[in-house]
């Protein structure tokens, strides 16, 4: 049986067909266009927004200080939360039941109570623990401080956010560690690496690919959740806006102004997240290490 | 390999027992259970210096588990196991066994290279970084020297032009050759291969076996769990047939393969060849 491959056949004409029409899409597009036009019209003509009033305050010293505090709190809470979260995740994965049990209890408490309530408690920490001392447990104390003087509003806000965030980061990091194939640890052990080296050089860098996307969402959430430290009270962006409109009664302009600041900050974070994800996904997939993945906006907010 | 050569870089003082002096590996009544399942039911085995030993047997016979016990990836429940004169995982003092610290176990593993069925290359590191990693981090050797040796090893397995690529961009056969280079970078006295070609497409098996054959030719101690009977016949010094957690038969590969003595060996070989 042979197949004659020498037969010259003419290339058929390229297809020129009438495309399928999508009337539904057109209707939807027009509807969206109308809504966008209405929104722009509202932004330009509404008196309630008072753009000039916003312009007066948006770069004022008080607001900039609020923005600075929001950024500081976000960074401190995320860095602290990640460090403590890593410790909690490793404890949770430990073979020692006391360590994993303690970690479980921590997560149960901090994920089981609202952040706002936790922050209110931090604001009243002086009533819960009037003094803190350095000494031997159940024994003599060498030095004692008054809590009210030691824990400033900034420290209370930072601690409140860190302790809460650590509980969420612990679960994200644990999932990341568990996502790394067991063979990786075996290979590292077989090469004579210590457990610490295996964790820091082999497991955690690979876990980062799973850890970074949800952590990006956590950073965005955290940036917005810093507004809750008004419970302490501590003056960040939202609290500053409130302080201003308490005097001027320009409530909506100040809140919209705060929104504009939050949007600017979150946009910067989203770009940063894109580059981080690209960095930690190197070596994955058959294509070149820098995958041709396009910048996509991730749904922020989510799960507290 | 002479006795003088393999004392170089050996991290622990040798405990020379009269019976294990000349041997690379010695197993005495090795038992291993996972929960109630007894996988190894008393293995007695000796591997001489420079020997290439092929371990064959049906799946579930305990051959991979035995290999993993040799570098202490699995803890044995009873018996004794020596590699290069060291008791694996324990120290015997005053008639009692003391578990070695994690650091000491790691030091013992440095003289044993292992190649896995599923390669287990580090996917976030380039091929060169995979080979350089352990000497750099574990032995803390100077980077230039490690780099040169890594490139030489990659050349030896025929992959020097792939040094800067990531494992995922390589074929299975290429990945396994990198894994061999990675294990050799620690300059082990013994190489363990756990079914090194079982996860490969048939046309890629040959290139990996060829690298292993070259290793055998320069006198490397090799223990390999394999189904590649051609390799066993051609390269192996001895063949061990395991079934149901015990060594059933041992001998020169040609003899065992052409004239198996035990019924279980005959049965197994009739099904694989």
pLDDT in tens, A106-149: 999 999 999 999 999 988 888 888 888 888 888 888 888 888 77
Q: Which two tokens stand for residue B72?
A: 């202490």
Cα–Cα distances (Å) from A16 to A12, A13, A19, A21, in that order, read: 12, 9, 9, 15
- A·B CB contacts under 8 A: 75
- Lowest-confidence pick of A17-21, A73-77, B61-65: A17-21
Given a cut of 90, whether residue B178 has pLDDT beyond it is yes
Better-scored residue on pLDDT, A233 or A105: A105
Q: Which of B113, B120, B169 comes nearest A186 by C-beta?
A: B120
Per the CB < 8 Å rule, is A184 touching B110? no
Confidence label for A290 from pLDDT (cuts 50, 70 and 90): very low
Residue-wise pLDDT for A229-274, tens only, equals: 888 888 889 999 999 999 988 899 999 999 999 999 999 999 988 8
Per the CB < 8 Å rule, is B73 touching A205? no
Nearest CA to B68 among B81, B86, B79?
B81
Average pLDDT over residues B14-31: 69
Chain B residues close to A188, C-beta within 8 Å: 122
- Residue A48: what pLDDT? 85
| Cβ B234 vs Cβ B259: under 8 Å | no
- Residue A278: what pLDDT? 85
CA end-to-end span of chain A: 70
Chain B residues close to A201, C-beta within 8 Å: 133, 137
Q: Which two tokens stand for residue A84?
A: 């403590």
B101 touches chain A (CB under 8 A): no
Confidence label for B66 from pLDDT (cuts 50, 70 and 90): very high
Given a cut of 80, whether residue B95 has pLDDT beyond it is yes
B120 touches chain A (CB under 8 A): yes
Per the CB < 8 Å rule, is A187 touching B124? no
The ipTM assigned to this model is: 0.86
- Residue A126: what pLDDT? 81
Spatial separation of the C-alpha atoms in residues B178 and B172, rounded to whole Å: 10
Q: Which of A187, A205, A283 comes nearest B120 by C-beta?
A: A187
CA distance B29 to chain A (A): 24
CA distance B255 to chain A (A): 33
Nearest CA to B60 among B31, B36, B40?
B40
Spatial separation of the C-alpha atoms in residues B220 and B32, rounded to whole Å: 27
Confidence label for A5 from pLDDT (cuts 50, 70 and 90): low
Given a cut of 90, whether residue B162 has pLDDT beyond it is yes
CA angle B154, B136, B70 (to 5 degrees): 80
Each as own residue / partner, the long-range contacts of residues A193-201 (CB below 8 Å, 24 or more positions apart, any chain) are A193/B106, A193/B134, A193/B137, A193/B138, A194/B102, A194/B103, A194/B106, A194/B138, A195/B102, A197/B137, A197/B138, A199/A90, A201/B133, A201/B137
Q: For chain A, percent helix, then strand, then coil, each to nearest 5?
A: 70, 5, 25
Given a cut of 70, whether residue B14 has pLDDT beyond it is no
DSSP string, B127-153: HHHHHHHHHHHTS---HHHHHHHHHHH
| Cβ B116 vs Cβ B167: under 8 Å | no
- Residue B253: what pLDDT? 94
Given a cut of 60, whether residue A207 has pLDDT beyond it is yes
- List beta partners, residue B40: B32
Bin B60: left if φ > 0, else alpha if -120 < ψ < 50, else beta.
left
The DSSP element (H or E) to which B190 belongs, if any, is strand B190-194
Better-scored residue on pLDDT, A284 or A132: A132
Residue-wise pLDDT for B184-210, tens only, equals: 999 999 999 999 999 999 899 999 999
- Residue A298: what pLDDT? 44
Spatial separation of the C-alpha atoms in residues B249 and B233, rounded to whole Å: 15
Compute the residue count for chain A: 304
Chain B residues close to A205, C-beta within 8 Å: 124
Mean pLDDT of chain A, nearest integer = 86
Q: Which of A197, A201, A284 comes nearest B168 by C-beta?
A: A284
- Residue A296: what pLDDT? 44
Confidence label for B181 from pLDDT (cuts 50, 70 and 90): very high
Chain B residues close to A282, C-beta within 8 Å: 124, 166
| Cβ A223 vs Cβ A74: under 8 Å | yes
- Residue A50: what pLDDT? 85
Given a cut of 80, whether residue B48 has pLDDT beyond it is yes
Chain B residues close to A289, C-beta within 8 Å: 166
């Amino acid at each position: 049986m042979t197949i004659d491959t020498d037969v010259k056949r003419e290339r058929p004409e390229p297809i020129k067909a009438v495309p399928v029409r999508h009337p539904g899409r057109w209707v939807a597009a027009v509807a969206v266009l109308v809504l966008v036009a209405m929104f722009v019209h509202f932004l330009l003509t509404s008196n309630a927004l008072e753009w000039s009033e916003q312009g007066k305050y948006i770069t004022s010293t008080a607001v900039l200080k609020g923005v600075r505090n929001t950024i500081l709190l976000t960074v401190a809470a995320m860095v602290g939360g990640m460090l403590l979260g890593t410790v909690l995740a490793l404890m949770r994965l430990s073979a020692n039941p006391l360590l994993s049990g303690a970690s479980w209890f921590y997560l149960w408490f901090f994920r089981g109570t609202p952040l706002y309530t936790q922050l209110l408690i931090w604001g009243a920490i002086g009533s819960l623990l009037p003094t803190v001392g350095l000494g031997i447990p159940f024994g003599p104390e060498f030095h004692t401080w008054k809590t009210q003087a030691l824990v400033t509003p900034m420290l209370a806000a930072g601690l409140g956010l860190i302790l809460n965030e650590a509980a969420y980061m612990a679960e994200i990091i644990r999932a990341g560690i568990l996502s790394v194939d067991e063979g990786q640890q075996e290979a590292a052990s077989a090469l004579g690496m210590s457990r610490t080296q295996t964790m820091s050089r082999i497991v955690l860098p690979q876990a980062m690919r799973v850890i970074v996307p949800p952590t990006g969402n956590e950073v965005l959430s955290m940036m917005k959740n810093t507004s809750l430290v008004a419970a302490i009270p501590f003056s960040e962006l939202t609290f500053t806006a409130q302080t201003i409109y308490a005097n001027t009664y320009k409530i909506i302009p100040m809140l919209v102004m705060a929104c504009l600041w939050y949007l600017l900050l979150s946009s910067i974070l989203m770009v940063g997240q894109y580059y981080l994800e690209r960095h930690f996904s190197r070596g994955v997939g058959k294509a070149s290490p820098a995958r041709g993945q396009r910048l996509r906006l991730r749904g922020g907010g989510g799960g507290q | 390999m002479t006795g003088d050569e393999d004392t170089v870089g050996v991290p622990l003082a040798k405990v020379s027992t009269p019976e294990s002096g000349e041997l690379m590996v010695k197993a005495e009544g090795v038992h291993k259970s996972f929960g109630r399942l007894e996988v190894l039911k008393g293995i007695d085995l000796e591997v001489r210096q420079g020997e290439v030993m092929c371990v064959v047997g049906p799946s579930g016979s305990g051959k991979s588990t035995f290999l993993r016990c040799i570098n202490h990836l699995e803890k044995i429940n009873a018996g004794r196991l020596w590699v290069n004169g060291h008791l694996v995982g324990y120290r015997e003092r005053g008639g009692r066994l003391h578990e070695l610290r994690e650091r000491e176990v790691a030091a013992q593993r440095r003289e044993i290279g292992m190649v896995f069925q599923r390669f287990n290359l580090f996917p976030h590191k380039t091929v060169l970084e995979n080979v350089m990693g352990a000497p750099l981090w574990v032995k803390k050797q100077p980077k230039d020297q490690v780099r040169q040796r890594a490139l030489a090893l990659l050349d030896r397995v025929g992959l020097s032009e792939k040094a800067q690529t990531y494992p995922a961009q390589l074929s299975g056969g290429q990945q396994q050759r990198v894994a061999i280079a990675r294990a050799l970078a620690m300059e082990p006295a013994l190489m363990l291969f756990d079914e090194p070609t079982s996860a490969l497409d048939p046309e890629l098996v040959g290139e990996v076996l060829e690298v292993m054959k070259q290793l055998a030719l320069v006198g490397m101690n090799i223990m390999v769990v394999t189904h590649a009977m051609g390799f066993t016949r051609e390269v192996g010094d001895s063949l061990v047939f395991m079934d149901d957690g015990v060594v059933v038969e041992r001998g020169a590969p040609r003899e065992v393969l052409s004239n198996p003595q035990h019924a279980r060996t005959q049965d197994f070989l009739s099904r694989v060849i």
